[in-house]
Amino acid sequence: MDAKNSAAPPMAPAGVVAPEDCDSGVSPSVWRYAHADRAHVIVDAAAYFEQLQAAMLRAHERIMLIGWDFDTRIRLAYGRRWWNLPRRRHFPARLGGFMVWLVRRHRPLEVLVLRWNFATLSFLLRGTMVLDLLRWKLSRAIRFRLDGAHPFGCSHHQKIVVIDDQFAACGGIDMTGDRWDTPAHLDDDPRRRRPNGKPFGPWHDMAMLVEGPAAAALAELARDRWRHAGGGVLPPCRPRPGKAWPEGLRAEFENVEIGIARTRAGWRDAGPVREIEALFVEQIAAARRFIYAESQYFASRRIAEAFARRLTEPDPPEIVLVTALASTSWLQQQAMDTARVELLRALGLHDHAGRLSVWVPHTAAGTPIYVHAKLLIVDDVILRIGSANFNNRSMGLDSECDLFIDARRAGNAHAAPVIARLRQRLLAEHCGIDEALLGERLERAGSMAALIAGASGAGKRLRPFVLQALTNTKKAIADSALLDAESPEEIFEPIAKRRGLFRRGGLLRRPG
């Protein structure tokens, strides 16, 4: 909770550092810095669901699930590779049944689930999910709430899991349908099916796991969100000697400082927060050699202007963006995809050195892989993963949470080689290259774009994103940012008065 909303804010737990006057809104880009005993990046939802289930089996007091959506019918794992199973070795694979089983066998464990309140009638179209929610309601240990604590037109978009205030996950992965996949992104994976049995396409996503004071900070954020959504005040969990970290999972990072940034529209006693936007601008400006990003959308004026500033420099950094070919719904296509075309055309006017490239991942058979990840890597010294996309909503409307590791900060230098390995791992995954060979091939190519262009083969690959021609109507929608406003106030502005993507005084010019 922001300090300005409390007369006597609690002291930060050991290992948690707030920037000077951070919670008073003076520091615009970071909410907290907190120590993580361990941290790990999870690529794709198959591993994420499996590791979360392993962690939840080790929970003692409280599990908090904070998300944009939940579907109780999803399977959490397809294997039985567990290292710390309870006496009964068989438990429900589906999320809904697993939670009921868990609270019955791990008393006094409580489970709190918070979901965005939009389209609640969709539950009725999810078959047995209604029965799962009824079973949850009958259990005193499971509490399910809908989050409507935001202005009209905004959404609750954070994806946070907290266990016993000592283990947490944050990223882009919702515990819902159409998410499960592996880094192989097979064209015909029989496990990639909706609860109704229908297949869905390949899906790429990412999250970060943290343990220690960093998890305690996310727990505070989750409890605050629960309170704002009407769930009441939750006390912190009691300190315990046990660990919820999944046994057998070797952490990539140890003893590292984690930064936390948020977006939140103003609502009642909580003021607006735009740390994520300010942090993106800072981190893009910090690049000296390259920026590697993965984002579901590219529709943010502020992000595009930050890129434009770098591209106009005499020797700009390389900027590589991996994104989805198209959005999943008609409305998102009108709001996000059209804006992406207009912004990329405008950036082309600044890219005198040809340093910007945009790519779409494809399977071996040529099927586009949907990119839902929200990732930023700068010079292999900054790693950022969260729920925020490169769109206006994530900058000022929706509730978001991003984690980052900055190897330039004191005590974090050992994180740089790990960040470099992650970038190489992702490039290898997308290009169908053996990860052991990626470093040498990247050095030989001289740039990420040259490596990607020369890696086309029979396996997975990255293909250039091709700008499509827009009708005048679509251009008008994109230019006005009609469906992707930058603040709640702009939602109600008349179209004729909208400042839009190419506002007067902005860096970007409307492409001809």
In tens, the pLDDT along 335-382 reads: 788 999 999 999 999 999 999 999 999 999 999 999 999 999 999 999
Whether residue 280 sits in one domain with residue 191 = no
The two structure tokens encoding residue 225: 């969100």
| Segment holding 63, helix H or strand E | strand 62-67
Number of domains in the chain: 2
22 inside domain? no
184 inside domain? yes
What are 143's strand-pairing partners?
Answer: 112
503 inside domain? no
Q: What is the DSSP string of 2-24?
A: -GGG-SSPPPPPTTEEPPTTGGG
The two structure tokens encoding residue 342: 């207009």
Sign of CA dihedral 125, 127, 132, 134: positive
Whether residue 321 sits in one domain with residue 446 = yes
Q: At a CB cut-off of 8 Å and minimum separation 6, what does 497 contact?
A: none
For residue 510, the model assigns a pLDDT of: 72
For residue 20, the model assigns a pLDDT of: 43
Whether residue 272 sits in one domain with residue 251 = no
Residue where a domain terminates, one of 255, 285, 305: 255
For residue 465, the model assigns a pLDDT of: 96
21 inside domain? no
For residue 195, the model assigns a pLDDT of: 87
Whether residue 485 sits in one domain with residue 370 = yes
**pLDDT < 50 regions, the chain:** 1-11, 20-26, 80-88
What pTM does this model have? Answer: 0.91
Round to whole Å and give the CA distance between 181 and 42.
Answer: 12
H helix intervals, 111-212:
129-138
Containing domain of residue 431, as a range? Answer: 261-497
Whether residue 100 sits in one domain with residue 128 = yes
The two structure tokens encoding residue 292: 């590697």
20 inside domain? no
For residue 416, the model assigns a pLDDT of: 98
Start-to-end CA span in the chain (Å)? 46
CA atoms within 13 Å, Cβ hemisphere of 153 = 18
For residue 497, the model assigns a pLDDT of: 59
Whether residue 281 sits in one domain with residue 229 = no
CA atoms within 13 Å, Cβ hemisphere of 33 = 17
98 inside domain? yes
For residue 11, the model assigns a pLDDT of: 43
For residue 8, the model assigns a pLDDT of: 36
Whether residue 268 sits in one domain with residue 251 = no
29 inside domain? no
Whether residue 305 sits in one domain with residue 209 = no
Whether residue 273 sits in one domain with residue 229 = no
| Segment holding 222, helix H or strand E | helix 213-226
Whether residue 477 sits in one domain with residue 353 = yes
Q: At a CB cut-off of 8 Å and minimum separation 6, what does 40 contact?
A: 208, 209, 249, 250, 251, 252, 253
Residue 426, Cβ neighbours under 10 Å: how many? 24
Residue 511, Ramachandran bin (φ over 0: left; ψ between -120 and 50: alpha; else beta): beta
Q: Which of 395, 382, 372, 385 is nearest to 304 (CA)?
A: 395
Whether residue 180 sits in one domain with residue 227 = yes
Residue where a domain terminates, one of 255, 286, 307: 255
8 inside domain? no
User: What CATH number does residue 133 fall under?
Assistant: 3.30.870.10
Residue 225, Cβ neighbours under 10 Å: how many? 23
**Which amino acid is located at 48 in the chain?**
Y
For residue 432, the model assigns a pLDDT of: 94
Round to whole Å and give the CA distance between 432 and 426.
Answer: 10
Tens-digit pLDDT profile for residues 181-196: 999 999 999 999 998 8
Whether residue 405 sits in one domain with residue 489 = yes
For residue 96, the model assigns a pLDDT of: 95
State how far Cα 229 lies from the chain centre: 21
